[in-house]
Structure 1
Amino acid sequence: MLIPISMTSKKDLVGSKKVTKIIRLDQEPRSKKMQEEARTEEMIKKKIWKLDADITVFFSMIKNFSLASGYQCEHIFQQTVILDQLRNEKFDLGITESLFICGFPLFDHIGVKTVINADSVLYLDVVKYALGEPASTSFYPGLFSKFIDKMSFVERIKNLFGMAFSWYFSWSRFQGELEAIKPYYNKSLSWDEHINGAAFYLINSNQYLDYASPTLPKTVFIGGMQVNTKKNGKVKLDKEWDDLLSIRKQNVLVSFGSNAFSSDMPDEFKKAFLEVFASMPDTTFIWKYEEENATLADHLPNVKLTTWMPQNDLLADDRLTLFVTHGGLGSSVELAYQGKPAVVIPLMADQPRNALMLARHGGALQLDKFNLDKPEEIRRAIQTVLTDPNYRKNAEKLADILSSQPYQPKEVVLKHCDFAVKFGDLKTLNSEGRLLNVFQFYSIDIALAALSLIFILILVVFVVFRFILRKVFSKSSEQKNKIE
């Protein structure tokens, strides 16, 4: 596993328990300096609580982000000793992510012929474009959309612009990376050629959870591959957590993920949550609070503050009653598989879409983050889900659907990796639609040609009819003159 560090706070993360050989590359100095000057991590952790969740708030960051991505990619290509070692390994398969384009030319550079694109997020609009899949902006919510698949006219316009912005964000980043490695990488493949050259596109989505959308054979849904459930017998809580869940009849887990820290939320938000916890003494609240030895809730015996908890295993336990979450994709998939009702409070990026995706199945309630200073609104949302049995019923039904799907994601991943190693990039799976322009792709040129033909026919009929009428009137006029 090659891990180029792009954020200091994430430098120790691996994401796999079984990988035995890890190569880490320090963050590129220019990129690190830009991040520090822009206070990117501080913005994500602290300012995101009150920023609009719309992705366009990041518009001003595009230029610097593209530059930083270019610096990072160039830095990787400059590690000639490491790259020579990797080249000598003669790998059968390379797996990378199209959130950045750098992995694709890198694999080509070290001689890895077969590549799989495995995205940790939902559908990237730019990948759909590269593969030639229909964008379907009229009914398919984009990655950063705030709407469901039934949209009004205005919502469809916003969804279209949202997809266009997402596409531009990726395009500018890809261009910056490819431009930066020109001195080291002697091929002139475009970013969409790199993406389309992958054997498969593994997407962290699930067809039974996400919105329906037309796909091509290269797109493979693997959402849920990381989730262990009681059904497969791989869930077990330590005594500390097991004892905690046995104290009270109701147990609520509160977590806002690994990027936005609860410890960094505004004081009025913390105060509101504590007020809610205090008003429900018969419920145990497990709150992911990223400050060691915090005393914030010492006066509340029903509150457990923790910097970390076994989230998936807690969600799998029948004694956990409710999950209050930010709607990150990992958490959304876990709670869907474990059949837990939820109050979803999206903060940024794809989280509003994830919240709506869960809510449409009937097991989750969405709460606007701008209500987090209102304890009565938080309490109302929690009590609504806790007291209405339909939320739990619908959540459990969704979990049953996911556990019963014909092909389990983990099996799908392994089989497609084996298939890719054996056959490589099958060109027969490529869609010629990717080579068409917008007019050709949506048959607008045919429609224009048809309209032009109809117009010409109408014009011809009009001219002929006019000519005949003129002849008739001319003849009639001549006869009239002769009679006179």
Structure 2
Amino acid sequence: MKLVIIFILLILIELTFSYKVLVFNPAFGASHSNFLGKISDILLDAGHDVTMLIPVFMSSKKDLVGSKKITKIIRIDQDRRSKQMHEEANLEEMMKKQIWKLDADNSAFFFMIKNFSLACGYECEPLFDHIGVKTVINADSVLHLDIVKYALGEPASTSFYPGPFSKFIDKMSFFERTRNLLGYAFLWYFSWTRFQAELEAIKPYYNKSLSWEDHINGAAFYLINSNQYLDFASPTLPKTVFIGGMQVNTKKDGKMELEKEWDDLLSLRKENVLVSFGSNAFSSDMPAEFKKAFLEVFASMPDTTFIWKYEEANATLADHLPNVKLTTWMPQNDLLADDRLTLFITHGGLGSSIELAYQGKPSLVIPLTSDQPRNALMLTRHGGALELDKTNLDKPNKILHAIKTILDDPNYRKNAEKLASILSSQPHQPKDVVLKHCDFAVKFGDLKTLNSEGRNLNLLQFYSIDIALAALAVTVSVLLIVASLIRCLFRKIVSLFLNVKIKTE
């Protein structure tokens, strides 16, 4: 069995003009499923035979696929032990309600590590190493994971590259670099416990002695949901492949037509604002004071249409406001692509951040948790976004001021459109990158020549600390010898001086 890392794309048997692909897509979260679903679509459009394997990690996510094109789907029911843990802890419902006020530094997630690791291990048990897999490609719907960088021998660069949960840009003070390093350490430990739990779970079925590092490094490529023209710059190795943006359809890809309901809605007023906090944070679960604050802001801007993703069907919360449309779902990407949409108020999830960047829309980013503070910084550095701390969500004047700041300053839109132009003009488009690397992996497999020997070095060797210590030891030794010689010489001179003085007397 190949170790399940987060998401794994398995390339099976190469055919004459196409190949068979097994996409491992755990039912975990909408953004993750959409990411793997888009990879599936790209391969299907290229004429390949794609099957999706969906082990259910959360029962509430069991219907997630992420693709409307794929027809070959195999589901594995949620493990009963995992299901029992989720039901007893009630983590999903608890997080939906608490996410609005939890500190975004993720310290609250420490208690989740043990159960999450055990559940991941249980989900690995049904998979065996007997299905003829030829080549493996890892595909992560998140940014760089430090533990994967470690396994590949890739520099973490914590002194200038913000970690996935960082609240700092790439220019950090001593304190910020310390916090960034600790954040990396937390994620490393989180992943390590998960990988160890997975290996422990498959012991009865697995007759190989490969470590989780061996499994990660044995993949042909590591596809990550990041874009080098959007994200902070960092050193990478050839196995790390940036495909952030491959899931976004823009007007450049072809005309995008909205359904009449949405088309008519955008034509009602000159300004249109989309409000959505993603698939894990429900606006309907907001504290009452937050909802009240938003409604006050909407009421103060009657000439602006607000489309608010509100997950309660037939909600009457905004019935008194003709400029507010509550909806449990909206075609987010298509709305962002429309020129009539003026502003996007978002939590800054990675999928939404990439979508708005590609569509060239100015945004007000209100990070709630996880990687969202970092994504907000990633967007604001390009000048098309403004960040608002979620502690201000009960203050309508703060929300209104932030919205007005963006709408009244044309530079936000100009900068957002410039970023979209950069992304649409990048030399290698992410969709092509996905297909070409999959084709390359099928043809050549895991090229050992791409492996970095850095993965075999310990911490002291990797950062040349041993050389620095050796140099320091030599320097100290030389200084001690010189000091000793000077001391001896001084004593000799003093002794001679005293002898001369005695003889003189």
**Please, what TM-score do these two structures have when normalized by structure 1?**
0.91
**Superposed CA offset, 1:220-273 (max 9, x none):** 110000111111215221111111111110000011111111111112111111
- Confirm whether residue 2 of structure 1 aligns to residue 48 of structure 2: no
Instruction: Give the counterpart of 2:381 among 360, 365, 379.
Output: 360
Instruction: Give the counterpart of 1:299 among 272, 295, 320.
Output: 320
Which residue does the alignment assign to 1:381? 402
In structure 2, relative to structure 1, the CA distance for the partners of 1:318 and 1:385 (3 Å cut) is same
**Superposed CA offset, 1:103-132 (max 9, x none):** xxx5x5533131111100111111111111
- Confirm whether residue 226 of structure 1 aligns to residue 277 of structure 2: no
| Counterpart-to-counterpart distance in 1, 2:210 and 2:201 | 14
**Superposed CA offset, 1:346-397 (max 9, x none):** 1110011101110111101111111111111111111111111110010000
| Counterpart-to-counterpart distance in 1, 2:153 and 2:166 | 21
Which residue does the alignment assign to 1:211? 232
- Confirm whether residue 411 of structure 1 aligns to residue 432 of structure 2: yes
Q: Secondary structure of the equivalent of 1:42?
A: helix
Instruction: Give the counterpart of 1:328 among 334, 349, 368.
Output: 349
| Counterpart-to-counterpart distance in 2, 1:178 and 1:109 | 17
Matched residue type, 2:485: V
Which residue does the alignment assign to 1:13? 64
**Superposed CA offset, 1:52-76 (max 9, x none):** 11122101111121122222222x2
**Please, what TM-score do these two structures have when normalized by structure 2?**
0.88
| Counterpart-to-counterpart distance in 2, 1:145 and 1:483 | 76
Instruction: Give the counterpart of 2:120 among 69, 93, 113.
Output: 69
Instruction: Give the counterpart of 1:424 among 445, 469, 475.
Output: 445
Shift of 1:344: 0.6
| Counterpart-to-counterpart distance in 1, 2:241 and 2:374 | 20
Matched residue type, 2:411: N
Q: 1:170-189, aligned counterparts within 5 Å?
A: 170-189=191-210
**Superposed CA offset, 1:27-72 (max 9, x none):** 1111111111111110222111111111221011111211222222
Which residue does the alignment assign to 2:33? none
RMSD: 1.3
- Confirm whether residue 46 of structure 1 aligns to residue 97 of structure 2: yes
- Confirm whether residue 247 of structure 1 aligns to residue 268 of structure 2: yes
- Confirm whether residue 201 of structure 1 aligns to residue 226 of structure 2: no
Note if contact 1:109-1:185 (Cα within 8 Å) is conserved in structure 2.
Answer: no
Which residue does the alignment assign to 2:333? 312
Instruction: Give the counterpart of 1:166 among 187, 194, 205.
Output: 187
- Confirm whether residue 468 of structure 1 aligns to residue 486 of structure 2: no
Instruction: Give the counterpart of 1:22 among 56, 62, 73.
Output: 73
Matched residue type, 2:84: K
Instruction: Give the counterpart of 1:256 among 277, 284, 305.
Output: 277
Matched residue type, 1:12: D
Matched residue type, 2:110: F
Q: 1:77-96, aligned counterparts within 5 Å?
A: 77=127
Note if contact 1:253-1:320 (Cα within 8 Å) is conserved in structure 2.
Answer: yes
Q: Which runs of 5+ in 2 are unaligned?
A: 1-51
Q: Secondary structure of the equivalent of 1:193?
A: helix
- Confirm whether residue 437 of structure 1 aligns to residue 488 of structure 2: no
Which residue does the alignment assign to 2:41? none
Which residue does the alignment assign to 1:56? 107
Which residue does the alignment assign to 1:85? none
Which residue does the alignment assign to 2:13? none
Which residue does the alignment assign to 1:449? 470
Aligned length: 454
Which residue does the alignment assign to 1:94? none
**Superposed CA offset, 1:385-436 (max 9, x none):** 1111110010000000000100100000100000000001111111111111
Note if contact 1:228-1:234 (Cα within 8 Å) is conserved in structure 2.
Answer: no
Note if contact 1:56-1:165 (Cα within 8 Å) is conserved in structure 2.
Answer: no
Shift of 1:475: 4.0
Shift of 1:18: 2.1
| Counterpart-to-counterpart distance in 1, 2:489 and 2:416 | 73
Q: Which runs of 5+ in 1 are unaligned?
A: 78-105
| Counterpart-to-counterpart distance in 2, 1:68 and 1:440 | 35
Matched residue type, 2:261: E
Q: Secondary structure of the equivalent of 1:236?
A: coil
Of 58-67 and 211-220, deviating more is 58-67
- Confirm whether residue 126 of structure 1 aligns to residue 177 of structure 2: no
| Counterpart-to-counterpart distance in 1, 2:186 and 2:431 | 33
Shift of 1:449: 0.5
